[in-house]
């Protein structure tokens, strides 16, 4: 944060403003404002300068700014989560919630183990592991939404029609080659060439979406298995650092898939989410569908 922002925070502090207004009022009513007002201004400058430059004050200001940023990010990610949950069809929603509930049940097992031991030792599925599993569940539900959106895109698109359109445009371009190269023919050729390029791009986009849907389906199965394994491992192994490392490893392996999801924004409508991971397990308020009860 820039130094000027620390000075601004020091000046806008509630107690500073209260003292400043009080001192200014006293100076104005004293009968000697020309004497006291400069003293008030000098004192204010000295106070703001010293406080704004103090390392502990700067740390406090940075902490408040970071907390505000995290709060905005958390709100944004929670809104995105609710948007996805509302858009998913029931079968995919059931699949997600079953995995979420499985993690919550394993969390309960870990809690029971902790109460049984009663030695205060940190056990798996504490906050560190929950944050990691939240991250993986967040990736998982976005993969489900991406797969669903790609399916809808493919259903709305007719590749056979696009191929026919390409053939028709190519035939018209071939017919123009037999005509005199007049300005009118040149304009028509440029228009048809642009049309042809656009149609080929659409067909290529379709084929890419079709291949990516298959890839996303495989990644969903893989990540679902990984999350279940890690949740079970978190109960059986008394090593939070090890579990956190495993979570990071799995999340790192998804980086390429994250890039693919970003490229598929045209189909999903889901923007790149540079936000905090929403609290999924930590809230412990999983919505249980009737079919999973």
Are 107 and 167 within one domain? yes
Q: Using 50, 70 and 90 to split pLDDT, how confident is the model at 144? A: very high
Tell me the per-residue pLDDT of 264-289, one tens digit each, with 9 for 90 and over: 665 555 554 445 677 777 655 444 43
Check: CB of residue 102 under 8 Å from CB of residue 232: no
Are 177 and 236 within one domain? yes
Are 142 and 206 within one domain? yes
Q: What are phi and psi of 177, to 5 degrees?
A: -65, -20
Tell me the per-residue pLDDT of 150-168, one tens digit each, with 9 for 90 and over: 898 899 889 999 999 999 9
Mapped to the 3 state alphabet, what secondary structure does the chain carry?
Answer: CCHHHHHHHHHCCHHHHHHHHHHHHHHHHCCCHHHHHHHHHHHHHHHHHHHHCCHHHHHHHHHHHHHHHHHHHHHHHHHHHHHHHHHCCHHHHHHHHHHHHHHHHHHHHHHHHHHHHCCCCCCCCCHHHHHHHHHHHHHHHHHHHHHHHHHHHHHHCCHHHHHHHHHHHHHHHHHHCCCCCCHHHHHHHHHHHHHHHHHHHHHHHHHHHHHHHHHHHHHHHHHHHHHHHHHHHHHHCCCHHHHHHHHHHHHHHCHHHHHHHHHCHHHHCCCCCCCCCCCCCCCCCCCCCHHHC
Highest mean pLDDT, choosing among 63-67, 116-120, 181-185, 236-240:
181-185
Q: What percent of the chain clears pLDDT 90, i.e. is strictly above it?
A: 14
Highest mean pLDDT, choosing among 41-55, 90-104, 230-244:
90-104
pTM: 0.60
Are 128 and 267 within one domain? yes
Are 124 and 19 within one domain? no
Are 226 and 84 within one domain? yes
- Give the pLDDT confidence score for residue 124 in this predicted structure: 46
Are 29 and 132 within one domain? no
Domain count, the chain: 2
Are 27 and 84 within one domain? no
Cα 83 from Cα 270, distance rounded (Å): 10
Are 186 and 219 within one domain? yes
22 alpha-carbon distance from chain centroid:
47
Are 181 and 48 within one domain? no
Q: Using 50, 70 and 90 to split pLDDT, how confident is the model at 244? A: low
- Give the pLDDT confidence score for residue 266 in this predicted structure: 59
Are 24 and 71 within one domain? no
* Last residue in a domain, options 53, 77, 94: 53
Are 86 and 198 within one domain? yes
Return mean pLDDT, the chain.
Answer: 76
User: Residue 21 sits in which domain range?
Assistant: 3-53
Please tell me the number of Cα atoms within 13 Å of 135 on its side-chain side: 22
pLDDT > 70? residue 116: no
Highest mean pLDDT, choosing among 66-75, 77-86, 94-103:
94-103
């Amino acid at each position: 944060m820039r130094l000027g922002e620390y000075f601004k925070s020091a000046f806008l502090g509630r107690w500073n403003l209260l003292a400043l207004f009080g001192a200014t009022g006293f100076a104005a009513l004293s009968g000697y404002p020309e004497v006291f007002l400069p003293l008030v201004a000098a004192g204010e400058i000295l106070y703001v300068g010293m406080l704004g430059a103090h390392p502990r004050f700067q740390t406090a200001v940075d902490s408040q700014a970071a907390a505000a940023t995290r709060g905005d990010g958390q709100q944004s990610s929670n809104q995105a989560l609710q948007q996805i949950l509302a858009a998913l069809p029931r079968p995919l929603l059931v699949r997600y919630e079953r995995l979420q509930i499985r993690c919550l049940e394993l969390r309960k097992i870990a809690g029971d183990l902790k109460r049984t031991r009663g030695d205060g030792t940190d056990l798996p599925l504490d906050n560190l592991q929950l944050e990691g599993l939240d991250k993986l569940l967040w990736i998982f539900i976005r993969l489900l939404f991406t797969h669903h959106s790609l399916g809808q895109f493919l259903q709305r698109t007719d590749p056979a029609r696009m191929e026919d359109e390409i053939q028709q445009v190519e035939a018209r371009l071939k017919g123009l080659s037999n005509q005199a190269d007049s300005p009118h023919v040149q304009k028509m050729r440029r228009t048809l060439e642009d049309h042809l390029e656009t149609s080929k791009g659409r067909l290529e986009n379709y084929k890419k979406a079709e291949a990516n849907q298959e890839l996303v389906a495989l990644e969903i199965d893989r990540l679902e298995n990984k999350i279940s394994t890690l949740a079970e491992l978190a109960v059986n192994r008394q090593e939070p650092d090890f579990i956190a490392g495993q979570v990071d490893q799995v999340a790192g392996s998804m980086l390429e898939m994250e890039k693919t999801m970003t490229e598929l924004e045209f189909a999903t409508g889901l923007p790149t989410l540079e936000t905090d991971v929403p609290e999924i397990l930590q809230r412990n308020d999983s919505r249980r569908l009737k079919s999973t009860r």
